[in-house]
Amino acid sequence: MELSGKIVQILPEQGGTSAKGSWRKRDYVLELPGTYPKKVCLTVWGDNIDQFNMNMGDEVNASVDIESREYNGKWYTDVKAWKVEKSNQSKSNPTPITTSAPDVTTFSDDSGDDVLPF
């Protein structure tokens, strides 16, 4: 599944050690555009935190996996980002717009010849 929006909050990085070794994760709050904007908390794991390099205000397209699991009678949902592309990179290098000025003829009151057709 893909989500597109703007990074509006970056939560502190968390980490620890488990039976499989050390781990780290960081949560990012993504605001989805629309009439009634929604916010989704994305989790990025491991080296992807450095690879994606997301900052506040970045417009991103995130490919995510959504998974729910039950623990002690309660359900928890994770939205894990496995691919992130910044969509505002093309805006940082805008293509210059060039326009040619139209030919302008100026008239002065000193001119005895009236060149206007009316």
What confidence tens digit (pLDDT) does each residue in 40-91 have?
999 999 999 999 999 999 999 999 999 999 999 999 999 999 999 998 654 4
Please report the pLDDT score of residue 115 as a whole number: 62
pLDDT per position as a tens digit, 10-47: 999 999 999 989 999 999 999 999 999 999 999 999 99
Tokens of 62: 């995130």
CA 59 to CA 88: how far, in whole Å?
Answer: 6
Q: Provide the CB-side half-sphere exposure for 8 (13 A, CA).
A: 13
As its CATH architecture, domain 2-88 has Beta Barrel (2.40)
Tokens of 85: 């592309």
